[in-house]
Structure 1
Amino acid sequence: MARQNDPLPAGTQDDPALPFPAVREVSLGAPLRWIARGIDDLKACAIPSLFYGFCFAGMGLLLTITLRHAYEYVAALTSGFLILGPFLAMGLYEISRRRERGEACELRPTLTVWRRNAGNIGLFAVVLGVLFLLWARASMVVFALFYTNEMPDLSSFVSQLLRLENLEFLAAYFGVGMLFAFLAFAASVVAVPLMLDRNQDAISSMLASFSALLRNPGTMLVWAFLIVLLTLFGFLLFHVGLIVMMPILGHATWHAYRDLIDPRQTPD
């Protein structure tokens, strides 16, 4: 039985009184406030937060080292990192949630937080996984269409990009990538925090995310830009920057959820 002050009360997927999340309109500058709060969470809970940061950085380095001779795969998997990010950052959401409730900043309880709503989180993970695989395949197709004879080596490829010799490839690659990024972002703005905090079902959580995007298009554009900018900054620092950037973004996503979704009314 849940405690009286627990925000996860009778709320389970089987609770017929569980309401659909009400989305609020927020200001255009709200994403900067979320980032600031994310930095505060990182400072207050540095050890568990940086643990996840090292995990993100380690995954990025492992991909780069393993596929260093196949940069076309690195490009697809690295950019797909943004698609899977909302699922991989669950532990960071839980750290922010625990700090918000005045609980200790501990790593151990965050490692298995997915068990709280395993079925719906698993369904959401499948959706993101399918998007990721489709993007990886689409990325390979774009490379194959523009490099029909032989793939250039990495130095030649980078040289072409810097000299802007293959603008058609860049337009196609980023155009396709933005489509998949938009779908992933629209479905995950508040989805995972909703499933963790309220045991909301996966479909309602994704619909609430789309609703947040539709009600706050300008704010969500700023938020998406900050996510891409900070993630890219982390990668450009040889993945080491991800140690700090990813925890900040994970914590900030929790605060975005708090601002975008009305507090739930406890059923009678």
Structure 2
Amino acid sequence: MAQQNDPPPVSGPGQPDPAPPFPGVRDVPLGAPLRWIALGAGDLKACAIPSLFYGFCFTGMGLLLTVAFRHAYEYVFALTSGFLILGPFLAMGLYEISRRRQRGEACELLPTLTVWRRNAGNIGVFAVVLGIVFLVWARASLIVFALFYTGEMPDLSDFIGQVLSLENLEFLAAYFGVGLVFAFIAFAASVVAVPLMLDRNQDAISSMLASFSALLRNPGTMLVWAVLIVSLTLLGFLTFHVGLVVMMPIIGHATWHAYRDLVEPQGPPG
């Protein structure tokens, strides 16, 4: 039987490495998200080519969805808003660019394309969780449309006119209310989860719990962060997805710096 003063087991040849300890979460000031955005913009400027590659990918996906479902805008709304749910997973390459820059490594695109291999199993688990949240949201979105438009759906111009003129406040309240629930779940689970799994080989459950802990310890800061993410993403959408070329890399890089601020470093300082 192990005694109280026994040293912790050390991995040796042929033995698996011990699991990373549960990450500690720090308190951060209310204005920290603005600094994260500034640092993210700095990463974009310093590593423009690989960062903009991911920005064009986001824009291309948005345009493809819009064209593919141009006659069924209710699907476009559900899938486009899914960017906010799946974004933390899709931005893995951007986290790796920021990580490499912080370590003084070259800004290269190729190593970031397969970064998921570093912790494939746990990243896969997290992707499944986000995928389930996204699919349930997509179904809930269509149900809200069906409940408020029981007859023939208005065309896109009429629908946008109703939204801008606030003619259908009940629909808007229901749609954004339901969407807020799913957005909160995805945001709470992913604040630091993917950067943590990439940086420390952390397991998916601990990474998601650390994200929830970061939210609970910093509710005001996380609210500011969420508003900034939504605002920048909407700005990208309102420019016919072209703005996503720049906005998504900034958000992705800023998320890495949010992780570095929120999660305590491993081991003794220095």
- State the TM-score bracket (shorter-chain normalisation): over 0.9
Match of 2:142 in 1: 140
C-alpha deviation, 1:161, in angstroms = 1.3
1:234-245 superposed matches below 5 A: 234-245=236-247
C-alpha deviation, 1:18, in angstroms = 1.6
User: What CA distance in whole angstroms lies between the structure 2 residues aligned with 1:162 and 1:206?
Assistant: 37
Q: Alpha carbons of 1:86 and 1:17: their partners in 2 closer, same or farther (altered >3 Å)?
A: closer
User: What CA distance in whole angstroms lies between the structure 1 residues aligned with 2:82 and 2:146?
Assistant: 18
Match of 1:98 in 2: 100
CA-to-aligned-CA distance 1:24-79 (integer Å, 9 cap, x gap): 00000000000000011001000000000000000000000111110000000000
User: What CA distance in whole angstroms lies between the structure 1 residues aligned with 2:177 and 2:216?
Assistant: 21
Match of 2:7 in 1: none
What letter corresponds to residue 55 of structure 1 in structure 2? Answer: C
What letter corresponds to residue 39 of structure 2 in structure 1? Answer: R
Match of 2:261 in 1: 259
Which of these residues, 178, 194, 205, is aligned with residue 196 of structure 2? 194
User: What CA distance in whole angstroms lies between the structure 1 residues aligned with 2:165 and 2:215?
Assistant: 36
Structure 2, gaps ≥5 residues long: 1-10
Higher mean Cα deviation, 90-99 or 144-153?
Answer: 144-153
Corresponding position: 1:125 with 2:127:
yes
Match of 1:213 in 2: 215
Match of 1:180 in 2: 182
Which of these residues, 29, 38, 47, is aligned with residue 36 of structure 1? 38
Once superposed, which parts of structure 1, at least 4 consecutive aligned residues long, lie more than 4 Å away?
Answer: none
C-alpha deviation, 1:157, in angstroms = 0.8
Match of 2:8 in 1: none
CA-to-aligned-CA distance 1:142-191 (integer Å, 9 cap, x gap): 00000111111111111111221110000000000000000000000000
Match of 2:63 in 1: 61
C-alpha deviation, 1:89, in angstroms = 0.2
> Does the residue aligned with 1:103 lie in a helix, a strand or coil?
coil
C-alpha deviation, 1:265, in angstroms = 1.6
> Does the residue aligned with 1:262 lie in a helix, a strand or coil?
coil
C-alpha deviation, 1:257, in angstroms = 0.1
User: What CA distance in whole angstroms lies between the structure 1 residues aligned with 2:19 and 2:161?
Assistant: 59
Match of 1:3 in 2: none
C-alpha deviation, 1:17, in angstroms = 4.9
User: What CA distance in whole angstroms lies between the structure 1 residues aligned with 2:112 and 2:135?
Assistant: 27
1:159-170 superposed matches below 5 A: 159-170=161-172
User: What CA distance in whole angstroms lies between the structure 1 residues aligned with 2:217 and 2:17?
Assistant: 27
Q: Percent identity?
A: 83
What letter corresponds to residue 68 of structure 2 in structure 1? Answer: T
Structure 1, gaps ≥5 residues long: 1-9
C-alpha deviation, 1:16, in angstroms = 3.2
Match of 1:156 in 2: 158
Corresponding position: 1:50 with 2:52:
yes
- Decide whether the 8 Å contact of 2:20 with 2:201 is kept in 1: no
Which of these residues, 81, 84, 91, is aligned with residue 83 of structure 2? 81
> Does the residue aligned with 1:61 lie in a helix, a strand or coil?
helix
Which of these residues, 55, 70, 73, is aligned with residue 71 of structure 1? 73
